[in-house]
Amino acid sequence: MVVVPSYRLNTFIAIFDSSGATTWSKSLPGDNLAIPNAASAQGGSFAIAGAFWGTIDLGTGIPQQANGTDGFVLTFTP
């Protein structure tokens, strides 16, 4: 699993197979986003935790607005 935070704009998460081909990816559109933590679990699920200020789309399609800095934890099962 690779998490690529920009610390300013969009962030993406990708999972690659042993040959380097992308098997799953997800974009988190927004501004001022930081994801310093990621953890995987059995069965391929994983979680990311971070903070944002400004706006972020956490998968609902509705940008969330931070009043100052807010934190989040997201879980994924690709």
Mean residue pLDDT of the chain comes to 77
Domain count, the chain: 1
Res 49: pLDDT: 82
18: left (phi over 0), alpha (psi -120 to 50) or beta: alpha
Q: Domain span at residue 27?
A: 2-76
- Classify each residue of 47-59 as buried b or exposed e, where b means 16 or more C-beta atoms within 10 Å of its C-beta: ebebebbbebeee
What tens digit of pLDDT does each residue of 7-26 get?
Answer: 556 677 888 888 999 998 88
Whether 76 and 14 have beta carbons less than 8 Å apart is answered as: no
